[in-house]
Each structure stands twice: as structure tokens, then as C-alpha cells.
Amino acid sequence: MADIVNLRTARKRVARQKAADDAEQNRLIHGLSKRDKAMAAVENKETRQRLDGARLEIDPGGKKK
């Protein structure tokens, strides 16, 4: 037979877990040094430029440019 579950405590447990997950995510985002943020920005910019340079554009006639 299953145990009786108090829904209030179950909701609180879920809320605590969500808060812990959010805190972990914020630590990753905001916990970087200025140098690390700058390096990540440069890396993202280089990646975006490389991907944009490899993009294939198709004109309305159906031919690739």
C-alpha cells in the first residue's frame, strides 16, 4: 500500500528544488569574473561570425547565392 503524501509538503519540496535549480543557474551566469565574461563574449562573437559566413542564402528564384 502506498504512503500518504501531504500535498502541502510536496509542493514546498518542489518549490525548494526549483529555487535551488534557479540559484545554481544564477551562480553560473553571474558568478563569472569580468575576464571570463569578456572571453565568452568574444568566443560567442567569433562563433556567430563563422556560422553567418557559412550560411547559404536562397533567392526567390530557387537558386543558391
Domain ranges of the chain: 7-53
Find out whether 46 and 39 touch, Cβ atoms under 8 Å: no
Q: What is the mean pLDDT of residues 9-27?
A: 96
Higher-pLDDT residue of 55, 13:
13
The per-residue b/e assignment along 5-34, b for 16 or more CB within 10 angstroms, e otherwise, is eeeeeeeeeeeeeeeeeeeeeeeeeeeeee
pLDDT exceeds cutoff 70 at 44: yes
- Quote the CA–CA distance of 41 and 26 in Å, as a whole number: 17
pLDDT exceeds cutoff 60 at 65: no
Q: What is the mean pLDDT of residues 15-39?
A: 92
Q: What is the chain's mean pLDDT, rounded?
A: 89
Among 16-20, 37-41, 59-63, the range with the most confident prediction by mean pLDDT is 16-20
